[in-house]
Amino acid sequence: MTRNTKALLFILVFALCHFFMKQLWGENWSEYLLNIDGQTNLLRKPIILTFIYGPMLLCAYWMFKRAGWLEILGLKPRGVLNYGLAAIVCCLPMFAGYWYLSHEINSSFVDFMIGSVYAGFFEEVIFRAALFGVLFRYCGLGFVPAALVSASVFGLAHIYQGNDAISALLAFAITAVGGTWFAWLYCECNYRIWFPMWMHLFMNAAYNFFVMSGGAVGQLDANLYRAMAIIMSLIYVGWLIRKGKPREITTRNLWVNKAYLRCDATTSPKPSSCQSSHLLKM
């Protein structure tokens, strides 16, 4: 298959999973899992997400199995702790600011797991590593079109946080931009989900723990602290680049991933042979 055929096929499989797999999930399964975990969703949530998007992940592996599961999903473990520590430092201003603004604390373990851990892990694997990563790294799409696809779907998944048409549109725009930022972090951090995942997790945790209102749009004063966390992440990536890490996203791969095109697209080569030489060093 050509790179464009692979891209279209993968987008089609994703769309089928995203919009139709829920219809195949039986309510009996939900009731059974909710009874096991005491109606907390701690079991149901990860299982239903795996059920819905599992066919997409299997399709990615079938088309690019030479790369391996961990590479395709951005889950190679090297660097996970370093990226976690970096994310903590980046999010400290957000925690401090939300603590200053907050008048209420939510210490629910269930809310932390579902709203922070599950959201951070599954959304980064599905939307960044699998959807964006496959289109960009293995199908040869440039950063802009690959990010546009994943960020648009990511934004649409959050419009429910709006109370009216305008707030829903703002929620879409903000989360779509956030999805593009996460995609950039994923690329610049050795095509691993760890740094965007930790950032996603800690930012959600701060939001939920200090009970900030406004959904994805957020409060104006709270958004200032959120912006500080984002700026800190940009500084961190800039520091990595100054230490010698090559830039991954440049004008050369904004519209077409030319690194992919230098490979034999018919053999689904391993990413290490098509991306920057530093890819597997961390």
DSSP structural state of residue 272: G
CA diameter of the chain:
58
* Cβ-contact 199, 229 below 8 angstroms: yes
Tell me the pLDDT band of 154, cut-offs 50, 70 and 90.
confident
Residue 210 identity: F
Cα–Cα distance for residue pair 207/217, rounded to 1 Å = 12
> What pLDDT does 53 receive?
97
Where are the strands (E) in 44-202, listed by range?
Answer: none
What percentage of the chain carries pLDDT values higher than 70? Answer: 90
Q: Would you mind telling me the total number of residues written for the chain in this entry?
A: 282
Return the minimum-mean-pLDDT range out of 126-140, 201-215, 222-236. Answer: 201-215
Cα–Cα distance for residue pair 225/91, rounded to 1 Å = 9
Cα–Cα distance for residue pair 81/180, rounded to 1 Å = 23
How do residues 103-142 score in pLDDT, each as one tens digit?
899 999 999 999 999 999 999 999 999 999 999 999 999 9
- The whole-angstrom distance between residue 64's C-alpha and the CA centroid of its chain comes to 20
How do residues 231-273 score in pLDDT, each as one tens digit?
999 999 999 999 999 999 999 999 999 777 655 444 444 444 3
